[in-house]
């Protein structure tokens, strides 16, 4: 889970307005879809539930999409924040909604790929949703204090192997994406560290050297790295990110490692395939605009896209990978 903290990506109001204006202009290419949308769907405003607070990474990104989406569909798009419980509150809301395409969930990997394996019981199942589109990937950055003795990921993991559990790492909570991803990295390195779960960000303690390391989403890590407040050791994607070109991927040290999260749009089970296809088409065109892609890349995010079937296969593979980490390491929340 990855993004509960209000993020610097909400930046300044003028930056937000500029980005929204550019995306709205790009929506002109989508206008032919609006005419087609005047039939059975959509017949009323679209509600997109975000299981995080205002200003969080998912909230800001979906708001960038909402205006051009509304123009393309010919109906208002209303964002509703339902934060808490590792996306469970928001996910439960959408799972119980009618499958008509008018209520959607904009969420991250915890909802379908981690929660079902971490929690003994959930008020929803992954099968309660149908995939619409994967919007982007969220690399994590392995960061440490600028005063830390560790200059590379290999250095830090070597120290962790030499003194098991002497070093520590923070996360946003047991079973959250930042926790499970770090466990996955430690497994790849054959190392052990002590987990210190936080209810919120551990950045202040990390800067003070009270915590050895944290896996932080690019959206919140990059501003502190660029300001010289944190040292970046590696990014978890399959390759380096454009906004941190000098920071190696974990894959360069531990071959084959990938530990990204993602943002995606889901609909309640039973939503007609034609409606899912229409939503996918509209969202896919927005994702493909140069303005949207530039905004994501500046934040260290990686644009995705693709068909509902692509997202379905991705979710299957993603869940299998994270379920193995959860089970192998006995990560569980009652």
Helices (H), the chain: 13-26, 31-36, 57-73, 88-95, 109, 115-118, 153-162, 177-189, 203-207, 218-226, 273-287, 290-298, 308-328
pLDDT in tens, 107-137: 999 999 999 999 999 999 999 999 999 999 9
Q: How many CB atoms lie within 10 A of CB 312?
A: 14
Domains of the chain: 8-138+261-328 (3.40.190.150), 140-252 (3.40.190.10)
Q: Dihedral through CA 244, CA 247, CA 165, CA 322, nearest 10? A: 60
Res 21: pLDDT: 55
pLDDT in tens, 148-175: 999 999 999 999 999 999 999 999 999 9
Res 26: pLDDT: 54
List the chain pLDDT tens, one digit each, 334 residues. Answer: 444 443 444 444 455 555 555 555 555 445 444 434 345 899 999 999 999 998 888 999 999 999 999 999 999 999 999 998 899 999 999 999 999 999 999 999 999 999 999 999 999 999 999 999 999 999 999 999 999 999 999 999 999 999 999 999 999 999 999 999 999 999 999 999 999 999 878 999 999 999 999 999 998 899 999 999 999 999 998 999 999 999 999 999 999 998 999 999 999 999 999 999 999 999 999 999 999 999 999 999 999 999 999 999 999 999 999 999 999 999 999 7
Res 13: pLDDT: 45
Nearest CA-CA partner of 261 in 305, 213, 215: 215
DSSP code of 126?
G
Report percent pLDDT > 70 for the chain: 88
Query: Angle, to 10 degrees, between the axis of helix 57-73 and the axis of helix 13-26?
Result: 30
- Is residue 168 exposed (0-12), middle (13-18) or buried (19+ Cβ within 10 Å)? middle
Res 24: pLDDT: 52
């Amino acid at each position: 889970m990855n993004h509960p903290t209000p993020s610097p990506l909400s930046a300044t109001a003028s930056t937000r307005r500029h980005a929204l204006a550019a995306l709205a202009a790009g929506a002109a290419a989508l206008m032919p879809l609006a005419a087609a949308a005047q039939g059975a769907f959509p017949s009323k405003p679209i509600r997109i539930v975000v299981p995080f607070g205002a200003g969080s990474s998912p909230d800001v990104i979906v708001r960038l999409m909402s205006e051009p989406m509304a123009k393309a569909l010919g109906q208002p798009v209303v964002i509703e924040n339902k934060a808490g419980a590792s996306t469970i509150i928001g996910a439960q809301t959408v799972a119980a909604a009618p499958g008509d395409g008018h209520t959607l969930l904009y969420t991250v990997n915890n909802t379908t790929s981690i929660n079902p394996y971490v929690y003994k019981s959930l008020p929803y199942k992954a099968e309660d949703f149908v995939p619409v589109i994967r919007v982007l990937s969220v690399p994590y950055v392995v960061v440490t204090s600028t005063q830390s003795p560790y200059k590379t990921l290999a250095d830090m993991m070597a120290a962790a192997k030499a003194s098991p559990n002497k070093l520590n790492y923070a996360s946003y909570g047991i079973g959250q994406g930042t926790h499970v991803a770090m466990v996955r990295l430690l497994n790849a390195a054959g190392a052990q560290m002590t987990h210190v779960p936080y209810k919120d960000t551990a950045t202040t303690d990390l800067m003070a050297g009270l915590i050895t390391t944290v896996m932080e989403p690019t959206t919140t890590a990059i501003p502190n790295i660029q300001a010289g407040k944190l040292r970046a050791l590696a990014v978890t994607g399959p390759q380096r990110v454009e906004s941190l070109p000098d920071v190696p991927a974990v894959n360069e040290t531990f071959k084959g490692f990938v530990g990204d999260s993602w943002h995606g749009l889901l609909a309640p089970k039973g939503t007609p395939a034609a409606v899912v296809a229409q939503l996918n088409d509209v969202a896919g065109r927005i994702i493909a605009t140069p303005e949207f892609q530039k905004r994501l890349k500046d934040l260290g995010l990686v644009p995705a896209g693709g068909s509902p079937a692509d997202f379905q296969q991705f979710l299957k593979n993603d869940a299998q990978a994270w379920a193995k980490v959860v089970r192998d390491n006995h990560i569980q929340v009652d």
